[in-house]
Amino acid sequence: MTEEGDENRVRFLPKQFTEGHTGYMTSTTVLLAEDDRAVRESLQRALSLDGYQVIACKDGAEALTYLAENTVDVIMLDVMMPTLDGLTACRRLRARGDKTPIMMVTARSETSDRVSGLDAGADDYLPKPFVLDELLARIRALARRFRVDDTNEKSLMLGDLVLDLAGRRCTRGSTSIELSKTEFDLLELLIINAGVVLDHSTIYERIWGYDFGPDSKNLAVYIGYLRRKTEEGGAGRLIHTVRGIGYVARI
């Protein structure tokens, strides 16, 4: 929760998004629960200008009431809200079987806070202040994660690589790729967030449930496994290193 006059309140909104922007998405609905009215209205305007349908709620209780009778594509919950906070709202949604992707948004950026959000059932965690372009990329990634194709089977695609989530199979072109459970989960996480750079801590927490710290080589080893398998036969690289930060999946 932010206080009136907080200098971080609207720092995450680039100038161009408050002066006019032509969006391109028209079918993704985002529920935004944020108690600070200035932040809520600024985010609602920015997302709407980018083509999203936005349902704005002032707290977690209002969000739960709406979601009891309606569906959306992505849920954004501020952690610190009166009446019903974001973590509690997230837990209650998961407890009643709601699988809609949830992003927690908060001014708190400690690792323990991120872990609490993920443990509550959130799919992503974004600390304030943030760049709007990153928020939009993460929303796109979350929406892609739960998008169902025409055969009603969940699958992810990145170039000519296809990840069949239901059958847990991976193919690139006409070649089948055998992946271990950890390799599959790691590749799924990267493709879901295609175009978004994921830092080491986020990947460790999402895949292994624990941040092993900067000295661990475990992640680099698995990235190496995935690269060898997905690039076999001279295929182009899909998993790229962003030095000093982490990894990103892109064509």
pTM: 0.57
Both tokens of 199, joined, read 């830092």
Contact 233, 161 (CB under 8 A): no
| Rg of the chain in Å (alpha carbons) | 19
Measured between alpha carbons, how far is 158 from 250 in angstroms, rounded to an integer? 7
45 Cβ partners below 8 Å, 6+ apart? 17, 18
Which amino acid type is present at position 143? A
User: What pairing do the DSSP bridges indicate for beta strands 239-242 and 246-249?
Assistant: antiparallel
Per-residue pLDDT of the chain (251 residues; tens, 9 = 90+): 333 334 333 333 333 333 333 333 347 899 999 999 998 999 999 999 888 999 999 999 999 999 999 989 999 999 889 889 999 999 999 888 888 889 988 876 555 666 777 778 888 888 877 888 888 888 888 877 665 433 344 788 999 999 998 888 999 999 999 999 999 999 999 998 888 889 898 888 888 877 777 778 889 999 999 999 999 989 999 999 999 899 999 98
Both tokens of 100, joined, read 């809609």
50 Cβ partners below 8 Å, 6+ apart? 17, 21, 23, 24, 25, 136
